[in-house]
Amino acid sequence: MRYSLAAGAVALLVASSLTTASAAGATCRDVYAPVHVLGQRHTMHGELCTPAGGASTVQVLVPGATYNSAYWNYSDGKHSFRAAQNAAGFATLTVDRLGTGASSRPLAVTLTGFVQADALHQVVRGLRSGAYGRSFSKVITGGHSLGAAIAVLEAGTYRDVDGVLVTGMTHRVNPAGVAAAFANFVPANLDRKFGLLYPVGYLTTAPGTRYESFHAPGHLDPSLEELEESTKDVFSATEAADGLGAAVLLPYSLLIDVPVMVAVGSRDTAVCGPLATDCSTAETLLDAEAPYYGGPVRAFSLPDHGHSINLAPNAGEYYAAAAAWAAREVGR
């Protein structure tokens, strides 16, 4: 089965701190989920938000390289994928990948895409069992870029989710665009935000390069550029190597037989272009991506923006399309 969504589509270790998310009327709390990877116990941090009326479906949202959970919930009040999904009736768990945010920071060289997928699987299992305070009968994993690759590896390996949202990732990449983005990565311990004592092996973006790397040629307000810089994080080259390698090149995604939605910016220089994926419309994106998945696929192309679509001026179209897909294909 193949579907497309046009650009204007339908519009136990848990922290005790609780807050109210005003935008969606959701109750949120920090979760510190114990995970056992690399022969050791680590902690994966996330924020679990539940709509006032409750929800049986939770979306587990995984950020991409040099991002943490802030990617899904920017503080400007206008760019919160998390709040939009809560308002649509879904619970959300926005996570920090291992190595980022408030999660454990293993040795960078040991952190691979499959290790991240294993940790994500343990979090999914905890959500179903009620380990974090309540149980959810349905789980959707959603990822951006490297986070999407991790979600693909998790779903293909463990077959424990009911749907997968893939953003900022396709199976034909633009080598020139990827090379340009990687040229802006520097060791995190050479960046003033992280400092000389930061563990060796983690990378981040050089100061002032995030627009060029993740948003060009789309519009990004200067205040949002500052927000991007202040919330940036790190990644390990090893997690990108096998994560993107397996998810994009094999393709591992053929093992996924649950509903999938693929969403990209129509001008994403990392994955779109004449020698890569035709992202110009939802239909062309669907034609390119549907053969790589084992289940029903929908596609969404957000006009006129680059790689990180959560901060696009028209991101609300994408938020609504994702909620509509989740409601139709998985249910609340």
Cβ proximity of 288 and 325 under 8 Å: no
pLDDT band at 13 (very low <50, low <70, confident <90, very high): very low
Class of domain 14-173+237-329: alpha beta
Whether 14 has a pLDDT exceeding 50, the answer reads no
The per-residue pLDDT for 24 is 46
**What is the Cα–Cα distance from 87 to 44, expressed in whole angstroms?**
25
* 299-318 mean pLDDT: 96
Q: Which phi and psi angles does 163 have, rounded to 5°? A: -175, 160
The per-residue pLDDT for 18 is 35
Whether 8 has a pLDDT exceeding 90, the answer reads no
pLDDT band at 279 (very low <50, low <70, confident <90, very high): very high
Cβ proximity of 272 and 258 under 8 Å: no
The per-residue pLDDT for 5 is 53
Residue 185 tokens, joined = 């990565």
The per-residue pLDDT for 251 is 82
Could you tell me which of 257, 225, 243 has the C-alpha nearest to residue 65? 243
Per DSSP, what are the bridge partners of residue 302? 265
* 85-93 mean pLDDT: 97
Q: Rg of the Cα trace of the chain?
A: 18
pLDDT tens digits along 133-142: 989 999 999 9
The per-residue pLDDT for 244 is 87
Residue 114 tokens, joined = 């499959």
CB count, 10 Å around CB of 266? Answer: 22
Per DSSP, what are the bridge partners of residue 27? 20, 50
pLDDT tens digits along 106-123: 999 999 999 999 999 999
pLDDT tens digits along 62-82: 999 999 999 999 989 899 999
The per-residue pLDDT for 23 is 41
For all residues of the chain together, what is the average pLDDT? 92
* 127-151 mean pLDDT: 97
By CB atoms closer than 10 A (0-12, 13-18, 19+), residue 298 is buried
The per-residue pLDDT for 89 is 97
The per-residue pLDDT for 293 is 98
Whether 262 has a pLDDT exceeding 80, the answer reads yes
